[in-house]
Amino acid sequence: MKLADPETYLESLRSMRRKVFALGERVENTVDHPLIRPSVNALAETFNLGEEPEAEELLFATSHITGKKISRFTHIHQSADDLVKKVLMQRMLGRRTSTCFQRCVGMDGLNALYSVTFECDQAHGTDYHRRLKEYIRYVQEENLVVDGAMTDVKGDRSLRPGEQSDPDMFVHVVERTGEGIVVRGAKAHQTGALNSHEILVMPTVGMREDERDFAVSFAIPCDTPGITFVLGRQPSDTRKLENSPLDVGNPTYGSQEALVIFEDILVPWERVFMCGEVDQSGKVVERFAAYHRQSYGGCKVGVGDVLVGAAVLAARYQGVDRASHVREKITEMVHLNETLFCCGIACSAQGYPMPAGNYMVDVLLANICKHNVTRFPFEISRLLQDIAGGLVVTMPSEKDLLNPELAPYLDKYLKGKEGIPTGDRLKIMKFIENMTMGCGAAAYLTESVHGAGSPQAQRIVIYRMAELEKKAELAKRLARIDEAPIDQ
């Protein structure tokens, strides 16, 4: 069944039989579970044409494999324009949902593997690139959601994969058979895993010669027997169980992560895209990281647009929108958000072709983009809380507001500017609480730090790629350092 709209997407998830746990209990229907449904809604927006005039151009692309119209989330970038449109699409969807729409990691993983499998075949005579292209064809034809699985649980961080006392701390091959490979381990922080059809596994670090079993990449359906999903917790997540939409803050949309456990899964050879080629494993990590760090210049900017709007409403509803210091704070929020967008567009516009024919982002600028994302959203959130005031964390619950005895008092004493309904002021306050402290903060703030690698990972790449010696030569030339000393 080709997934063409949100409804068919939802039905495809309902038809899957998976082993899923949430709050210690087995969940059979993840689509309609109150803890999970907001994240399903957010991902469903990637199947929704929406009302934006630019939506069709951004959401769809032409497959270089089939020549057909496909979702951009399944597309292999063929130009710098494709890279730019990816960022624009992500900003548009961030504006729609004000959260993570969970489909970017799979897209970025497919694009990273596309070039690496091509180069691996050239270096080792393997057949990975053909296999990957056939897999991409299948994903494109069916418009499937792919969970990109890179982050291993890692165990003792001071030890490499091959040094762990328990090798299962990194996904690894435990057996090679005529049918395929048997793998074991777990992937952590899997954004949108419960809302995906496929899992695309990649190595989490570059491997050494004695770590061939860990240099593995493959794809497997999410409902494969032997896979277990454990839903992660988020701040204030049980508010979704209280049937109080106001207290949730963003009741329609949300994000989710899961721990994905692989218990001796047999992967057919046709779905294996790396198996022991340690010299290629680091390429996957670096290229995936660059693509995904580019992504943050779109999705987090879209969410930032919504937070700027929330600041405007909070100020207006409280009668302080004309205050000069409030306008200055909103201006700073815009400045920070658009700076992130500039980086996302810049690393895309500077994209270049790879030997495989697909396009790669400017790696240095992509890392600059993500490094700014580890900082600016926190300042945007601080300014938003500053403008909103203390009611963000002291407001009564929706049940209090619905209590006939309390309602008149709360409507009177929680009122802001004349002519603004008290309920409107309270809705924007709860939304701000969600985005800066609650479930929304998990997708906007914590993910901004650790998604696509922690800040130090970007700093390592930035230093390595900064061409410091070339810059030193520029300074030497202009300062005439290579000429005779002044005292001669």
List the chain domain ranges: 6-280, 283-473
State residue 147's pLDDT score: 98
Query: Which residues are annotated as catalytic?
Result: 100, 104, 191, 257, 292, 296, 299, 447
pLDDT in tens, 243-274: 999 999 999 999 999 999 999 999 999 999 99
Topology alike, domains 6-280 and 283-473? no
pLDDT in tens, 69-91: 999 999 999 999 999 999 999 99
> Which CATH number is associated with domain 283-473?
1.20.140.10
Where on the phi/psi map is residue 243: left (φ > 0), alpha (ψ -120 to 50), or beta? left
Helix spans in 251-397 (H): 278-317, 324-349, 363-373, 376-388, 391-394
Half-sphere exposure of 329 (CA within 13 A, CB side): 24
State residue 482's pLDDT score: 85
Compute the distance between CA of residue 293 and CA of residue 365 in angstroms, rounded to an integer.
9
State residue 1's pLDDT score: 42
CATH 3.30.450.40 applies to domain 6-280: no
- CA dihedral in degrees (420, 423, 429, 433; nearest 10)? -170
pTM above 0.85, yes or no: yes
Q: Are 234 and 303 in contact (CB under 8 A)?
A: no
The tens-digit pLDDT sequence of the chain (488 residues) is 478 899 999 999 999 999 999 999 999 999 999 999 999 999 999 999 999 999 999 999 999 999 999 999 999 999 999 999 999 999 999 999 999 999 999 999 999 999 999 999 999 999 999 999 999 999 999 999 999 999 999 999 999 999 999 999 999 999 999 999 999 999 999 999 999 999 999 999 999 999 999 999 999 999 999 999 999 999 999 999 999 999 999 999 999 999 999 999 999 999 999 999 999 999 999 999 999 999 999 999 999 999 999 999 999 999 999 999 999 999 999 999 999 999 999 999 999 999 999 999 999 999 999 999 999 999 999 999 999 999 999 999 999 999 999 999 999 999 999 999 999 999 999 999 999 999 999 999 999 999 999 899 999 999 999 999 999 999 999 999 987 777 65
